Structure formats: C-alpha cells, structure tokens
Amino acid sequence: MTKTDNRRRAIVVANEKGGVGKSTLALAITDKLAIAGHSPVVIQIDRQKRLSAALGQSVITIASDPKAARTDPGKELARFSPVLDAVEQAATSAPIVIDVGAGEVGRFSEWAALVDLDEEFGEFGFHPVVFVPFTAEAEAIRQAHWTVERLTTAIPGAAIILAENQRDGCVADLHPASAAWQEWTDKLKPTAASNALIIMGAIPGGSWRYFEAAGSRFIDVVDLETLAAMQLSGLPRAEAKIARGDVAQWLVALFDEFDRVLMIRETAGEA
C-alpha cells in the first residue's frame, strides 16, 4: 500500500461467516492505532457487542433487527446511518474502524452502494481498507471470497487485505482433496495473489480466552503486573505469566503484519 496518514484510514473488518476472528482482529487494529497515538472511532455492526465489552461505551453499536429486514427493508438499511455520521465527525481527527458482524455483509454492502460510501470516504479524505479474516475451513474461505466480492463492488476504492487466522490450522496444511483446499484454490487464492495477505497466528494454549472473558484489551493485558494478570485471568501465578506472555508474543507478530501492510508508525499523523 502507498503511504497514508493513519488518521485518514477507514478500516472495515468483515466476513459473512461468524467465528473467524473479526472482532479479535478489529480490536488488535484499534489497539495498534492507539499505540500509534490515534483515537479511532469504532463502529460495531453486531448484536454480540464484543468490542464494546473491551473498549467501553465509546463504541458505536449498530445491532441487527431480523424482523425489520422482513417487514421494513428500508428501515433495516437506515440503521447504518450512524456510519456516515461517524465519517463526518471523524473527518479531521481520527481513523475509523468498522467491525461488520456475521450475516451483515450483504445488507451493509447494499447500504454502502446506495449511499455511495466510497464517495463519502473520498469527500472527507479517508482511504478505505477492508480486512477479511478467514480460517482454514471451507465455509469460512467461501464466505471470505463472497465478502471480498460484495465489498469490492460496494466500496471500489478500498484496498483489500486478507487475514489468514491460523487458530484452527493453516491453509498450506490442508489436504489437496479437501473441500477447504478446493475453495481456497478455486476462489480465494487468486484474490490473495492480487491483494495483500497477513497471517494471524494461533495464540498458544488459547491464552487469550482467559482475558477476553474479562473484557480486556490486548494492550492492557501485555502491560499487566503479575498479580493483576492472575486476578483478571483467574489463573495461578505461573500460568497467568505464561498466558500474558503468549498474548504479548502473538500481538507483536500481528503488529508486525500491520506494519507491513499499513505502515503504521508510532507517531500521530505519520504513516
């Protein structure tokens, strides 16, 4: 990617399938921007509110309404209006991070095309980036490809970055006869060849789950004193220190990936 002022980024994290690490990735991106001196506007289009649990009331939450989708499609699409408000309000001061929950990509893409969100980003000087995380599983790969297609059409000016979440294994280790390998080879691999790809390694021992359950942020966990890590995770001293170290090691590796594709510097306004 070309160098861009990080305050001018509008980052969308999406995959139509759930359980692929969207909120985890969005939280890590938010923490990376925070370390670089920015205060991103965070929007969560999801009923689960995982980001608001970690980041507090500052998160703009847009909950889905399945009944409205059936009875009043116009009202269903109108619920995305706070996104445009956030774009205008953040225009001169902050980047934007939008976490699009499972099952929301189609409706969000339709709305984005209707309001010409790409033009809105351009008018306020934002450079859109779409992260699409996926796991080494057939449906996750299939939906990642579909998500890329929908958001590329809805936000044609966006840079696409695929994020291979290796929590449950690596794409490279898939059996050539598996459905997942077929989906990767036929659909997502060609997309990866023409766009950026980052790796989300597996957090050893699932250590993050202890802190995630307490509504923690990554940057807070890595700075915890041992006693605080024990209290937050509920783990004995040795296990708490190991878990904290696992999270820190994973975060450093992921931040390196962000630096490679986004070139985020730890100085506000510099990219």
Evaluate whether 243 touches 210 at the Cβ level (below 8 Å).
yes
**Percentage, residues of the chain above pLDDT 70:** 91
**pLDDT value at 87 more than 80:** yes
Residue 68 has pLDDT above 80, yes or no: no
- Residue 191's closest CA among 141, 157, 256? 141
Cβ neighbour number for residue 145 with a 10 Å cutoff: 24
Closest CA to 32 of 224, 266, 223: 266
pLDDT above 80 (res 266): no
Query: How far is the C-alpha of 45 from the C-alpha of 26, rounded, in Å?
Result: 12
Determine the pLDDT at residue 89. Answer: 84
CA atoms of 205 and 110, how far apart (whole Å): 39
Q: Which residue has the higher pLDDT, 6 or 204?
A: 204
What are 163-199's pLDDT values in tens digits? 999 998 999 999 999 999 999 999 999 999 999 999 9
Least confident range of 65-69, 194-198, 237-241, 254-258? 65-69
Q: Is the pLDDT of residue 61 over 80?
A: yes
Would the pLDDT of 69 be above 80?
no
Structural contact between residues 222 and 244, judged by C-beta atoms closer than 8 angstroms: yes
Q: Three-class SS of residue 5? A: coil
Average pLDDT, the chain: 90
Q: Which two tokens stand for residue 129?
A: 């980036």
pLDDT-based confidence at residue 1 (cuts at 50, 70, 90): very low
CATH class of 6-202: alpha beta
Q: How confident is the model at residue 254 (pLDDT cuts 50, 70, 90)?
A: very high
Does the pLDDT at position 3 exceed 60?
no
Average pLDDT estimate for 195-209: 93
> Which residues contact residue 260 at a Cβ distance below 8 angstroms, ignoring those fewer than 6 apart?
198
Residues 222, 196: Cα–Cα separation, whole Å: 28
Q: Confirm if 129 and 161 have CB atoms less than 8 A apart.
A: yes
**Which strand ranges, in their side-by-side order, compose the sheet holding 41-45?**
60-61, 41-45, 96-100, 9-14, 127-134, 159-165, 196-200
pLDDT digits (tens, 9 = 90+) for 40-53: 999 999 888 889 98
**CB of 44 closer than 8 Å to CB of 61:** yes
Q: How many CB atoms lie within 10 A of CB 267?
A: 10
Range 69-89 average pLDDT = 80
Q: Which of 58-62, 65-69, 118-122 has the lowest mean pLDDT?
A: 65-69
Q: How far apart are the C-alpha atoms of 136 and 128, rounded to whole Å?
A: 26
Please report the pLDDT score of residue 259 as a whole number. 94
Region of poorest pLDDT, from 72-76, 164-168, 200-204, 226-230: 72-76
HSE (side-chain half, CA atoms, 13 Å) at 197: 15
Going by the DSSP 8-state scheme, the letter that residue 196 receives in this structure is E
User: Is the pLDDT reported for residue 161 higher than 70?
Assistant: yes
Mean pLDDT value across residues 5-28: 91
Neighbours of 270 (CB within 10 A): 14
Mean pLDDT of 150-171: 96
**Radius of gyration (Cα) for the chain, nearest Å?**
18
* pLDDT of res. 46: 87
pLDDT digits (tens, 9 = 90+) for 123-138: 999 999 999 999 999 9
Nearest to 131 by CA among 247, 270, 271, 262: 262
Confidence of residue 260 (pLDDT cuts 50, 70, 90): very high
User: Which of 49-63, 161-175, 211-225 comes out lowest in average pLDDT?
Assistant: 49-63
